[in-house]
Amino acid sequence: MSQNETDSSAPAGTWWLAVLRGVIAVLFGVAALAWPFSVLEILVYFFGFLIIIESAVSLAMGASGEALPTPRWAAVLVGVLGIILGLLALFSPFIMAEAFVFLIAAWALVTGAGEFAAAFTGAGDWTIRVLLVISGILGVIFALFVIFWPLLAELVLVQVLGIYAVAIGIIGVFHGISLRGRTGAAAEQPAA
């Protein structure tokens, strides 16, 4: 690498895009922390629109005369069910949010019960079995928490997303500033 090349793969004039992306992530994260239920509702609406668009494309592909990698009936079915799901998200966003949280609870319950059972049926030394028992119990406890307090689980989920967004946003801003410093230093150095 010569002296006037930067060690970044980003073009010299795009440093500000990394900063902008970071600022947007921080703003989203702050909004998620300040107004978690409003942000959750917006995310569900976004999800609804995305599903409707994706499903309309699937439906159009299934109805077209072109050859598909999947059976035509499957593409049509996915399209119709997806449009119904998307409309449900748009007209009942809180039902969709709760459904998502209950899906997480079901996953945690099945995983926890499976790990607990594996501790007593699988081979392995006692430390692995103890870790499986602990992991299984934690999964079941988490699932029960989500089942009995779904609104609190939704709130926590959005707030964790908010903390994550703030963290990656700050990192993105520093990354953009770092890119700016590198491209500015590279531009000042004479060509060899």
Residue labelled with tokens 């700016």: 180
Domain boundaries, the chain: 15-178
- Whether 84 shows a pLDDT value over 90: the answer reads yes
Q: How far is CA 33 from CA 2, 15, 156, 162, 164, in A?
A: 45, 27, 10, 6, 10
pTM exceeding 0.75: no
Higher model confidence: residue 32 or residue 191?
32
CA pair distance 140, 107, nearest whole angstrom: 10
pLDDT band for 186, please (50, 70, 90 cuts).
Answer: low
Question: Which residues neighbour 146 within 8 Å (Cβ) at sequence distance 6 or greater?
Answer: 101, 102, 104, 105, 108, 153
- Whether 81 shows a pLDDT value over 60: the answer reads yes
Report DSSP state, residue 191.
P
pLDDT band for 183, please (50, 70, 90 cuts).
Answer: low
**Strand, coil or helix: 141:** helix
pLDDT band for 3, please (50, 70, 90 cuts).
Answer: very low
CA pair distance 80, 76, nearest whole angstrom: 6
CA pair distance 161, 147, nearest whole angstrom: 20
**Residue range 106-160, pLDDT digits in tens:** 989 998 898 888 888 876 688 888 888 999 899 999 999 999 999 999 999 899 9
